[in-house]
A and B are shown apart, each in its own frame.
Chain A
């Protein structure tokens, strides 16, 4: 069977590329870290890949606003081929700064419309927050996640967050209604028993405790928490996980790899 190929897009200030690569490799994919300057020389090569990752970091120092410059660069210089990639239903993930990039170019929440309708603003606490949080995996009445990345997860998992601008907000109520009606909310911050969480368990003050969203098909996924930092049980503060060895973040990457395999 052919090897699943992932592209991890890097630029000045990217800094979660190595662990994202390791996570995908652990799930049996090959993963290339590719600098945007290199990719722009041969944009169509992106279509030779099965999975696209916008990793965490501080792209271009998060000058102006987090992820904004990279979002504009990608959209203006290779928006067409990126949209084609996403419309072909291949998995795309934006983690932390990558999530900020996805919403700021508008690939989320709608790939087809491809315009910005939501953003990630400054945390309510007014400071950078590095901590573990509980997340509720959103599922439909049949118990299935619409987002292909969050399938097969228990109802509540924990992941680390590390950001200063993670408060998810939308342009207007219509957008929020759309996210709800189309089951595009993939993760919500919650307390240990799944109930609504206040600070610090909701680390940024996101509306509706939103931690991650997908497009309406469920292949494009953006989230503030870092699944790539929890692929081994050892990485959890109390060393919990599954199969005595792995962390729940691994399932997220495994889902994408398995989806490509079909």
Chain B
């Protein structure tokens, strides 16, 4: 059959010059490079015809950075320059040679699906597996914060619905990077929203979507930095549970293409390609999708019924690229014929290509064996979900689209999925030596002032204002909650969340831990250490509540600036290298990830890239839900220990930032020291030798100990001189250093002997006792005694973001 142009336009490409090709790409928001445009030109020269608009749009969506991850999987020519040496290396596929390689080498039997499906999947018990995915929705959230974040969470939930044959979502996570809420309006770039407006919109969007879906938002963090003012980062994650016999999916020729859920409209056109364009005041808001959580909830309810009746063979969600990506993905190995006229629309007037690439929300695509045709429609109808057959999977490995009987696209699946040319990029990284800061001398009152400032700091303070707007307990399974206190009136920041899926897995004792690690401040100085620290922090957080490092998996989310710039791509490579190194040394695999590499905005003629951010999210399985811990101290007269060695590592610390201290060494990661400690903590928790455990990170041990005390409503006395340190350190340095690998733990005196013998061979010391009415840090040697009432410390921690 020949192509007809009643419902599409022929795009003249065969005779275009290089400049004209680039103009075509830019004017139509295709975000394709010259080399890519030329590859398309060659393909059509071979076919001896021009492409139709819908064909070229299909290619642009499928080849977008968002869908294809061209940078991470492309060729990179990398040069590393340190004061000592120069290293030159070529990567043919950065992802496969770093993160993915570690996973392959670790060969964990409990990893059931890694880096292939919509989410990573690991073993939960005999019958069930758990899936986890974190996505970003940065550009939409910059332009339309509410809609952007709502569809961000809606989209990642659909990733979980579309993994295997569909998982039931159990929990959401969210991590945001914003400009500071108190930014003077004058400082906000022309045409951009004020951070306060972005924060309010983003939080409301996640709240309204997550709460209405009935999925608890249980873990996250918020990071404030001027660098995210015009380009906020919105990371949304979802974890779900799936029967093991529902993980495999395979479309067969003859299966019908079913689209179910929301109708298709003009919202979200070019979302996939727009994410690769810098943001400026002209950016088009129509690229942002519009969400409706109740439609998605209905889809969830109905599709899990259909799944359990085995009514379909494959499913995926309509995300970036809309139907073009979803149908293309399911039909990659077969071929598919689609009749676009059959797609239910929100309103008339859409052009064929718009229907095909619209990113309208809440749509799932299924491959349904013809014999189940009536039954599956009936199931969806019962839940008031619109479901319509729009085509059939074939065996000719071609994508054929018609509209009203006219053929408007006819292309090879292999060209679409494998035709994108590999481009060589150059990257460079200059590693600078880090120097210790000048010794910090502070008296007791200066230290107390710093402690309060640390607790008040935007990146340490309570995020209660956000957390309480999220229903973090719906489903009744959140047994370790984001805010933790020994009674209702007090709270402190939990290290990780624990989900006990008793309503889904009847009679289970097992639970799931979720945590994260993120520290862009380190990345401003050293991307390698930032990645290493984020990995260890995520793992430490999981360990604190009872996680077992033998059964933890990781997700990576890279949000970088414009990686067309050599030094920005260079820092990405350093971070990816750290992911390989520390995944290997902790023996903890990555199971999925995502990157967003064009976080750049322009003000006038000047372009700005965001501070690079690597979010590491961890998911682990806990054998016995009873053996989990919250972070507040549990009672008076218990012994307080610090596990791990404190080094003079104040580079990128909260303390250095608030005191404007130049220099300082960014915390490194020492798996040989920290891994045995983490293993022993797990044993100690399972032998009930520990009453509480808290990770030491932002704000150092002073902040960690204070948090454990005020969330318990009791005092504590710490002897600074007893902290195990490396080299010489002043009391302030000991209290605020952010060395990795450290934990504060509380031990009942009756268990002390067993506890000490278990931790033999690691670095630890008893540093104090719980109880008394004040939080006290004392160094007799240095004549330092810092004292404050825990309630006052709690109010410092709570007041900054009380009401935005």
Contact = CB atoms under 8 A, between A and B. Distances in A.
Interface string B292-303: 111001100100
A61 interface: yes
A167 to B, nearest CB: 16
Nearest to A203: B468
Contact of A19 (B383, B384, B489, B503): B503
Contacts of B297: 12-13, 15
Chain B binding site: helix, strand, loop or mixed by DSSP?
A: loop
A238 interface: yes
Contact of A228 (B212, B476, B630): B476
Given A12-B297, A61-B212, A192-B487, A35 B471 contact: no
B214 A235 contact: no
B207 interface: yes
A238 B485 CA distance: 7
Contacts of B504: 18
Interface string A1-30: 000000000101111101101110000000
B293 to A, nearest CB: 7
Contacts of B188: none
B271 to A, nearest CB: 24
B110 interface: no
Contacts, number: 114
B501 to A, nearest CB: 10
A134 B488 contact: yes
B500 interface: yes
Given A18-B503, A192-B488, A234-B625, A13 B473 contact: no
A35 B378 CA distance: 14
Given A18-B503, A35-B382, A12 B294 contact: yes
B476 A22 contact: yes
B485 A237 contact: yes
Nearest to B384: A12
Contacts of B211: 58, 128, 162
A130 B298 CA distance: 24
Contact of A37 (B382, B469, B487): B382
A238 B629 CA distance: 10
Contacts of A19: 475-477, 503
B112 interface: no
B557 interface: no
Interface in A161-219: 162, 192, 201
B106 interface: no
A229 B29 CA distance: 48
A60 B301 CA distance: 14
Interface in A69-118: none
Nearest to B383: A35
A235 B488 contact: no
Contact of B468 (A12, A58, A129): A129
B475 A37 contact: no
B33 interface: no
Interface in B626-640: 626, 630
A38 interface: yes
A21 B502 CA distance: 11
A28 to B, nearest CB: 14
A9 B556 CA distance: 40
A160 interface: yes
Contacts of B472: 130
28 contacts: A12-B384, A15-B214, A15-B474, A15-B475, A16-B474, A16-B475, A18-B503, A19-B475, A19-B503, A21-B503, A35-B383, A37-B383, A37-B384, A58-B214, A61-B292, A128-B207, A128-B468, A128-B470, A130-B473, A132-B488, A134-B488, A201-B489, A226-B476, A229-B473, A235-B473, A237-B488, A238-B487, A238-B630
Interface of B: 207, 211-214, 292-294, 297-298, 301, 382-384, 467-479, 481, 484-489, 500, 502-504, 625-626, 630
